[in-house]
Amino acid sequence: MLPLAALPARAEWLRVVETTTSTVVYVDSQTTGKSGDIRKVSELHDHKIPLSNFNLSTRFLSEYNCTGKLVRRLQVDEFSEHMAQGRSRSTPVGKEQPWSSVLPDTATEAVMKFVCDH
């Protein structure tokens, strides 16, 4: 597993899926950590339409439990510009956040399949 401090300054974003709500979801191929059935990954959700808080992109540090089909967010960073650019606001959500089920046919499921299969 990769600690936050180990995340590289420059991401290599790989496109995973585009949602029906015009959000393109990427994962950073350089931040995928593996420990048994757990995967830790940095995700970027690039919004074609601004969110209600006017942000155009959101970066998550997430953990996925591949066997249990579960996810939890460890950190959330919101950005005023596309592709994690512009003003940012970071929200650590803590490692003790409970696991949530990954719903079928969602961007989260697409990311889970991508990181669990690689």
Token pair recorded at residue 28: 């950073």
Of 11 and 26, the structure prediction assigns the larger pLDDT to 26
Number of domains present in the structure of the chain: 1
For 78-113, the pLDDT digits (tens) are 999 999 999 988 776 765 789 999 999 999 999 999
Question: How many Å is the maximal CA-CA distance in the chain?
Answer: 38
Query: Containing domain of residue 46, as a range?
Result: 4-117
CATH at 101: 2.40.128.710
Q: What angle do CA 14, 20, 23 make, to 5 degrees?
A: 40
For 34-80, the pLDDT digits (tens) are 999 999 999 999 999 998 888 999 999 999 999 999 999 998 999 99
Token pair recorded at residue 112: 């889970």
Whether pTM > 0.75 for this model: the answer is yes
What's the pLDDT at 114? 95
